[in-house]
């Protein structure tokens, strides 16, 4: 189904980064168009897609969107005011999009602050996650987790763990309740490009804590997480090494994370090349879907319908 491009013009590298469906006639999608650079917001009213006006922020990028009601939708990302990057949060109140003040990391050395995902359960409870980067002038720079909480009045920074020395980034978040929130990403102690591990942390209503996941390969990371009403959680991403990656799916049964085999349709197990990853996941108590892509040797989409593992005991 066709969708409009920003300002009705053809642009290069026109990409949608996230979406949320509140009803069959109320679907939102956000993205960025390049050359020229501009953010965009699309809305589906049940019949057609349309561009929705929003505040224009310099050098902005939208990364995530989530909502729980027609008049309560959040967008997160970042923008570039003059130098560096600052967190960006916008809110839809049913009539218009507006910028909501959001803090950056309190670290005095932070030069980049980026939000990657957002999740909410109501008008007074939402989480936004991402990372911040510190100045590397004296070879002391690094990337660290950044988590913000909305209490109905203001966004505030909440301390979050950083298990690795060099890189800690969170790109997905999912709320089941105010005392059960998951955030996922990856981290690394290596200055190279291919030694990452899963980063998974959980909010219990008081603090964020790390949880262990299976180590599948030299390099692995997670791109999204979702929860189910019965307390399960699913996270997706990739694992591999410098030459290849396969799709990764892990499952939380209420006590531990375990690896669930998932399809890598464009790379056979005998191949030592090719790269595939899952980027987004949704689930109910009885159904799990994930989407992603392969980009070597050819770019193709991946849609995975995951067979259910045993549910939690009543």
For 58-77, write each residue's pLDDT tens digit: 999 999 999 999 999 999 99
Rounded Cα distance between 232 and 214, Å, is 17
CA distance readout (Å), 10 to 35, 62, 259: 10, 19, 42
For tokens 């005998």, the residue is: 270
Reported as a pLDDT band with limits 50, 70 and 90, residue 314 is very low
Q: Name, in order, each residue with C-beta under 8 angstroms of 221's C-beta and a sequence gap of 6 or more.
A: 185, 186, 196, 197, 198, 199, 237, 238, 239
What is the predicted pLDDT for the residue at 149?
98
Reported as a pLDDT band with limits 50, 70 and 90, residue 313 is very low
For 249-294, write each residue's pLDDT tens digit: 999 999 999 999 988 776 555 455 568 899 999 998 888 999 998 8
More confident residue, 207 or 307: 207
What is the predicted pLDDT for the residue at 203?
98
What is the predicted pLDDT for the residue at 60?
94
What is the predicted pLDDT for the residue at 270?
46
**Which of 5-9, 30-34, 106-110, 276-280 shows the lowest mean pLDDT across its residues?**
5-9
Reported as a pLDDT band with limits 50, 70 and 90, residue 307 is low
Q: Is the pTM of this model over 0.75?
A: yes
- The percentage of the chain sitting over the pLDDT mark of 90, rounded to a whole number, equals 71
What is the predicted pLDDT for the residue at 190?
82
| Residues 276 and 290 sit within 8 Å (Cβ to Cβ) | no
Residue 53 has pLDDT above 80, yes or no: yes
What domains can you pick out in the chain, each with its CATH number? 6-211 (2.120.10.10), 224-314 (no CATH)
What is the predicted pLDDT for the residue at 136?
76
């Amino acid at each position: 189904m066709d969708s409009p491009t920003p300002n009705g013009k053809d642009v290069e590298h026109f990409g949608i980064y996230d979406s949320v469906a509140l009803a069959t006639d109320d679907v939102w999608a956000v993205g960025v168009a390049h050359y020229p650079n501009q953010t965009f917001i699309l809305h589906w009213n049940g019949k057609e897609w349309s561009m929705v006006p929003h505040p224009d922020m310099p050098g902005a990028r939208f990364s995530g969107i989530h909502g729980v009601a027609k008049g309560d939708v959040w967008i997160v990302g970042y923008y570039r005011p003059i130098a560096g990057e600052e967190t960006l949060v916008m809110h839809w109140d049913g009539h218009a999009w507006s910028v909501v003040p959001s803090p950056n990391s309190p670290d005095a050395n932070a030069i980049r602050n980026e939000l990657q995902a957002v999740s909410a359960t109501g008008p007074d409870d939402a989480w936004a996650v991402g990372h911040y980067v510190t100045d590397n002038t004296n070879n002391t720079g690094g990337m660290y987790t950044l988590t913000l909480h909305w209490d109905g009045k203001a966004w505030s920074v909440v301390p979050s763990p950083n298990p690795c020395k060099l890189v800690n980034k969170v790109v997905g978040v999912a709320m089941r309740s105010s005392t059960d929130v998951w955030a996922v990403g990856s981290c690394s102690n290596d200055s190279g490009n291919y030694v990452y591990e899963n980063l998974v942390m959980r909010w219990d209503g008081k603090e964020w804590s790390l949880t262990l996941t299976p180590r599948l390969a030299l390099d692995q990371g997670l791109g999204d997480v979702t929860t189910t009403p019965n307390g399960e959680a699913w996270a997706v991403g990739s694992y591999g090494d410098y030459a290849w990656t396969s799709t990764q799916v892990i499952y939380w049964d209420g006590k531990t994370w375990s690896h669930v085999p998932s399809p890598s349709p464009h790379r056979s197990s005998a191949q030592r090349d090719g790269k595939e990853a899952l980027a987004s996941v949704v689930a109910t108590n009885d159904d799990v879907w994930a989407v992603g892509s392969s980009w070597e040797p050819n770019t193709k989409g991946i849609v995975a319908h995951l067979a259910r593992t045993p549910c939690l005991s009543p």
